[in-house]
Amino acid sequence: MATEARRAIGERSTRQRTAVAAVLQEVDDFRSAQDLHQMLRRKGERVGLATVYRSLRAMADAGDIDILVTADGESLYRRCGQGAGHHHHLVCRGCGLTIEISAPAVERWASTVAVDHGFTDAQHTLDIFGTCQDCVDQEAAQAR
Amino acid sequence: MATEARRAIGERSTRQRTAVAAVLQEVDDFRSAQDLHQMLRRKGERVGLATVYRSLRAMADAGDIDILVTADGESLYRRCGQGAGHHHHLVCRGCGLTIEISAPAVERWASTVAVDHGFTDAQHTLDIFGTCQDCVDQEAAQAR
DNA sequence: TTATCTGCAAACATTTTGCAGCGAG
DNA sequence: CTCGCTGCAAAATGTTTGCAGATAA
């Protein structure tokens, strides 16, 4: 679970792999593997669920997509700004709208905190969840 | 899934509930529900796994413990500084050593980011993972 | 040709839930 | 006495894996 060699072997270009990459390209927010699988079926693409998982894992390992784990343990995937490096997300709990955020100051702070406590090889997770304006409006409309 | 009334009903004091609270008191780092269940068994306390989950959920709802979701979707629990309010964690990947962290500046930043984008009811997750000095030393020793 | 990928279903791990009985207040 | 809590086992969920056959290179 600790030190893991990161060798990007395999990487063959198949119809399924391409299809998964394609649906990820179509949406701007985080989707679950099962969601993506459904989207593929609806598009007529015949891809096994296991293959979706395998493809997503490969893409994540290669750093091509972001993974976000919800509070109930489900993994959500999203294509991210190509090689834009490290960034965080502001996610709407209602509609999934996602905004990428950069915060150099916070990066520096996190790094400092780790070093101050003698920690090395530090990484961090930082995500903000809230309700976007549109969803607030919709909730208000429903309550009426 | 959005607006949830927070009424802390129930809360009866039972042997099992007390036992769960007790093991949480014994350790300083994050443990999984299954871990805690094992610890109880080893202590001779006879508590069902389901009850451990139910107790943990109740304590979490009441704000008495922290929950942290690992990258592979497992929930870890830990008693937290009593009513110390919102804080974050610096966790060692090797031994689980956990240090509580306060960062008012980051809190303010997160809040500002949310508001700037029209988000309301904003919450955030922020955890730093790294390898502590002791674990670095141990790894070095093993590599030898 | 051949190593990798795919599909399917079974396996897994974690967490939740239904229900009969127990027990705190 | 009552209602919430507990235990057990079954169910639900999300994800991984074994294996035979398909397929890119």
Class of domain A86-144: alpha beta
The contacts of residue B114 (CB under 8 Å, 6+ apart) are A90, A128, A130, B120, B122
pLDDT recorded at residue A143: 67
pLDDT recorded at residue B82: 53
- How remote is the C-alpha of A61 from its chain's centroid? 12
Q: Name chain A contacts of B105, Cβ cutoff 8 Å.
A: 109
* Strand D–CB B18 distance below 7 A: no
Q: Which residue is nearest to nucleotide D8 (CA to C1')?
A: B48
CA–CA separation, B72 and A73 (whole Å): 7
**Regions of chain A short of the pLDDT cut 70:** 1-10, 81-85, 142-144
Tens of pLDDT, residues B64-113: 899 999 989 999 999 876 555 688 999 998 888 899 998 899 999 999 99
CB B77 within 8 A of CB B63: no
CA–CA separation, B63 and A58 (whole Å): 38
Q: Name chain A contacts of B103, Cβ cutoff 8 Å.
A: 109, 113
For residue A54, give the nearest of A82, A6, A27, A16 by alpha carbon.
A16
* Strand D–CB A34 distance below 7 A: yes
pLDDT recorded at residue A11: 75
CATH topology of domain B1-82: Arc Repressor Mutant, subunit A (1.10.10)
CB contact under 8 A, B132 and A117: yes
CA–CA separation, A131 and A66 (whole Å): 21
CA–CA separation, B134 and B111 (whole Å): 35
pLDDT recorded at residue B7: 41
Structural domain boundaries in chain B = 1-82, 86-144
* Strand D–CB B8 distance below 7 A: no
